[in-house]
Amino acid sequence: MNDNDISLSRRRLLGTVGAAGATGLAMGAGGGVLGQSAAQADPPRALASVGSATVAFHGRHQAGITTPLQTHCHLAAFDLAPGAGRKQAAALLRRWSRTAAELMTGEADGTGGSDRSRESEAKAEPASGIALDAGPCSLTVTFGFGRSFFTRTKLTSQRPDALAPLPPFSADALDAKRSDGDLWVQIGADDSLVAFHALRALQRAADGTARVRWQMSGFNRSAGATPAPMTQRNLMGQVDGTNNPKTSDPDFAERIFLPTGGSPGWMTGGSYAVFRRIRMLLDRWDDLSPGAQEQVIGRRKSDGAPLSGGTETTAVALDKRKSDGGLAIAADAHVRVSAPETNGDAAMLRRSFSYHDGFREDGAPDAGLLFVAWQADPLRGFVPVQRKLDSGDALSPFIRHEASALFAVPGGPGKGEYVGQRLLEG
């Protein structure tokens, strides 16, 4: 883990246990045990651990990259308003950073009270108190810059080569209005109101400087939903995320983050986020037998074990053959085509959320994956892998890439700094 480790911290709400009533919190945390604990006069319970978990805003890397997946996310791209340039962008990133830092500690009360005394530009807090009763709930806010940001702010000399537009892929069906953007915000939290509150606070803080270009919401499974913690499942029912690079891998940092002394200097400790909104053709998928679905991916549905044998965490044996001589993992299976071994060691950290936006006119669910992949260089991570998938992945007939973006995500701010300061004031 890194500087942004989750910690269970004291929370301002602990002080309100008495006022809210211990029973209320016990009900939130444990439901059915309410009557029992009240009758036995147990001491008041602290806020449930889900609520009190915090992730550090400051550190070498921004939060929300190696942070364990939260239950809720909002992804939003903003475009700078006409007339807004580098100065206004710097002021916005300062406001956004202050807001994010406060919300992530859980110290902001959500009433807007503390902001009224601040400079008039700062509308950092919605006055609705949306998240008033909750702890920080592992809230993370991550900020990135799109290619167009550098033109708008006349900072093209600082634009990383790695921000070159992603190449077109044959299966792309991209909606330009839901792609790209000058600025990107990724919000994750283990509570839906905490996540929405952060989104509103950041949107308000952007007022007059930047406008929402697109916004999407996603989800993952809630902590405690399964008897033991496990890898997430996506909406196709697959265990998804197993073979991600691990923070304990010796080459993890060099694969995912830019080193000190790299180029450009302001990206030290940063990473590149590739975003793809990938709709799943779930009716077509659900018509496949479970066995056929497993062949498409190359892993078992029940527990995510590779079809070459073993358990979920057993290394995939791409050369393994069945008794009939055929490959245990088909030539076009998703895990074979995307594996680092078959892509010149290309690797990325996939940190995705499911989405469901209702049903389309034809009755099909508008649902799938908000795919987010992190890497030190998209030309050595996402691009070669997607090129290969584009030309021969058994999963392709069941998905549609509908939106796309690439963002430069700078390193985390030091204490007293704001995100992107080294770019905007360098």
Ligand X SMILES: C=CC1=C(C)c2cc3[nH]c(cc4nc(cc5[nH]c(cc1n2)c(C)c5CCC(=O)O)C(CCC(=O)O)=C4C)c(C)c3C=C
Compute and round to an integer the Cα radius of gyration of the chain.
Answer: 22
Q: 121 Cβ partners below 8 Å, 6+ apart? A: 91, 95, 208
Q: Which residues pair with 273 in a beta bridge?
A: 374, 407
Asked if 339 is part of the footprint of ligand X (rule: CB under 6 A), the reply reads yes
Q: How far is the CB of 330 from ligand X (least distance, A)?
A: 14
Asked if 242 is part of the footprint of ligand X (rule: CB under 6 A), the reply reads yes
Q: How far is the CB of 357 from ligand X (least distance, A)?
A: 15
Nearer to ligand X, 61 or 299 (CB): 299
Asked if 122 is part of the footprint of ligand X (rule: CB under 6 A), the reply reads no
Q: 155 Cβ partners below 8 Å, 6+ apart? A: 86, 149, 423, 424
Which residue type is seen at 200?
Answer: R
Asked if 174 is part of the footprint of ligand X (rule: CB under 6 A), the reply reads no
* Residue 169: count of CB within 10 angstroms of its CB: 17
Task: Collapse the DSSP code of 246 into the 3-class scheme (helix H, G, I; strand E, B; otherwise coil) and give the result.
Answer: coil
Q: Which stretch binds ligand X (CB under 6 A): 89-97, 169-177, 184-192, 232-240?
A: 232-240
Instruction: Out of 50, 91, 297, 372, point to the residue binding ligand X (CB under 6 A).
Output: 297
Instruction: Out of 389, 405, 408, 409, point to the residue binding ligand X (CB under 6 A).
Output: 389
Nearer to ligand X, 162 or 280 (CB): 280
Is 319 labeled as catalytic in the residue annotation? no
Cα–Cα distance between 425 and 152 in angstroms, integer?
A: 16
With residue 212 as reference, give the H or E element that holds it.
strand 210-219
Asked if 67 is part of the footprint of ligand X (rule: CB under 6 A), the reply reads no
Q: 64 Cβ partners below 8 Å, 6+ apart? A: 4, 55, 140, 141, 142, 186, 187, 188
Asked if 338 is part of the footprint of ligand X (rule: CB under 6 A), the reply reads yes
Asked if 385 is part of the footprint of ligand X (rule: CB under 6 A), the reply reads yes
Asked if 371 is part of the footprint of ligand X (rule: CB under 6 A), the reply reads yes
Asked if 234 is part of the footprint of ligand X (rule: CB under 6 A), the reply reads yes
Parallel, antiparallel, or unpaired for β 349-350 and 365-375? antiparallel
Give the contact letters, 399-418, x = binds to ligand X (CB under 6 A), - = no.
x-------------------
115, 190, 240, 393: which is the annotated catalytic residue? 240
Nearer to ligand X, 236 or 267 (CB): 236
Q: 283: which 2 tokens?
A: 């009716």
Q: Which residues pair with 76 in a beta bridge?
A: 185, 215
Interface residues toward ligand X, by CB under 6 A = 234, 236, 238, 240-243, 276, 278, 280, 297, 299, 316, 334-335, 338-340, 368-369, 371, 382, 385-386, 389, 399
